Amino acid sequence: MKSVYLSKIREQNPLIHNITNIVAANFSANGLLALGASPLMSANIEEMIEIPKISQALVINIGTLIGKERDAMLLAGKMANSIGIPVVLDPVGVGVTRYRQETVRQLLAEVKFALIRGNAGELAAIAGADWQAKGVDAGQGKTNLQEAAQRVALCYDCTVLISGEVDIISDGQQTATIHNGTPLFPKVTASGCLLSAVCAAFLAVDEGKHFSAIIEACAAYTIAGEIAAKKLTTQVGQFQIRLLDELATLTPDVIEQNAEVKYV
């Protein structure tokens, strides 16, 4: 694959508005900075009219819904739609509680998303498929995840990324799988949340070519993880920092030489 968007992120330094969870906020902000984007972290409903006007993309992450955050997400999402900037939904643990299910249902009904990014359990819950999630973790099941990704993409007219050992990307018409990554990703909390933020940065510079942008975003992130894992002298503790280092030094050539992308 040819890397098109990483250089644009570093040239344009897009501002990415994150309404994210308290677990992921710091890691997502630092990851965006390392990549070359600029993070803005706010869930204050009083700011949801103004912030989208200066942003190039929005991430809505439901990981730790507190107070009026659902209202803030809806307002920011509608503002982003009216302005024309891409919106990413990370439906963390959507199947865990009724409130999360209702929140995601309302968001999908009222906000147009460019990307829905989640693990297998989260996307299966949205698709209404047979799957046993484990809290906010992926869990296990027998559902054909490629078909589930296609169904959700067609239903909501968006791109879908199911992240896991093999990442699945579909816009309903085209589907690809990415075979990069490391088993250390699920050992670090908020690594999926950072992937959603990274995807938003790529969408911010893609000029509407969402499918190809998400393929490159996912490949870039998982390749950075692979390289980081190979450089570790210990395991999980150092991985988070090494991942930030690799995101900061990643080049288009490294993406092109290492990406393992298959079109289904």
Output the average pLDDT for the chain.
94
pLDDT band at 143 (very low <50, low <70, confident <90, very high): confident
Q: What span, in angstroms and rounded, lies between the C-alpha atoms of 255 and 3?
A: 7
Whether the predicted pLDDT of 94 surpasses 80: yes
Per-residue pLDDT, 139: 47
Per-residue pLDDT, 130: 65
Q: Domain 6-263, what fold?
A: UDP-N-acetylmuramoyl-L-alanine:D-glutamate ligase (3.40.1190)
Query: Tens digit of pLDDT for each residue in 164-175?
Result: 999 999 999 999
The tokens describing 128, both together, are: 């209404």
Question: Which 8-state DSSP code applies to residue 185?
Answer: G
Q: What span, in angstroms and rounded, lies between the C-alpha atoms of 230 and 228?
A: 5
Question: Which 8-state DSSP code applies to residue 198?
Answer: H
Whether the predicted pLDDT of 234 surpasses 50: yes
Per-residue pLDDT, 11: 99
Per-residue pLDDT, 138: 46
Per-residue pLDDT, 142: 65
Whether the predicted pLDDT of 13 surpasses 70: yes
Beta-bridge partner residues of 120: none
Least confident range of 33-42, 64-73, 228-237: 228-237
163 assigned binding-site residue: yes
Chain centre to alpha carbon of residue 168: 12
pLDDT band at 235 (very low <50, low <70, confident <90, very high): confident
Which residue, 248, 215, 197, is CA-closest to 10? 248
Contacts of 51 (CB under 8 A, 6+ apart): 17, 40, 42, 76
**Mean local confidence (pLDDT), 122-130:** 87
pTM equals 0.95
Query: Tens digit of pLDDT for each residue in 146-161?
Result: 999 999 999 999 999 9
Q: What span, in angstroms and rounded, lies between the C-alpha atoms of 134 and 122?
A: 10
Q: What span, in angstroms and rounded, lies between the C-alpha atoms of 73 and 16?
A: 14
Q: Is 199 in contact with 159 (CB distance < 8 Å)?
A: no
Q: What span, in angstroms and rounded, lies between the C-alpha atoms of 146 and 162?
A: 9
Which residue bears the tokens 């570093």? 10
pLDDT band at 129 (very low <50, low <70, confident <90, very high): confident
**Mean local confidence (pLDDT), 97-120:** 97
212 assigned binding-site residue: no
191 assigned binding-site residue: no
Q: Count CB atoms within 10 A of the CB of residue 203.
A: 29
Least confident range of 192-201, 229-238, 254-263: 229-238
pLDDT band at 228 (very low <50, low <70, confident <90, very high): very high
Q: Which residue has the higher pLDDT, 75 or 121?
A: 75
Per-residue pLDDT, 128: 86
How far are the Cα atoms of 21, 50, 51, 66, 260 from residue 45, in angstroms, in the given order? Answer: 15, 10, 10, 12, 41
Q: What span, in angstroms and rounded, lies between the C-alpha atoms of 117 and 134?
A: 17
DSSP 3-state of 18: strand
Q: Is 150 in contact with 175 (CB distance < 8 Å)?
A: yes
Question: What H or E segment, with its residue span, contains residue 168?
Answer: strand 167-170
70 assigned binding-site residue: no
Q: Is 261 in contact with 161 (CB distance < 8 Å)?
A: no
Least confident range of 5-9, 225-229, 234-238: 234-238
Q: Is 79 in contact with 85 (CB distance < 8 Å)?
A: no
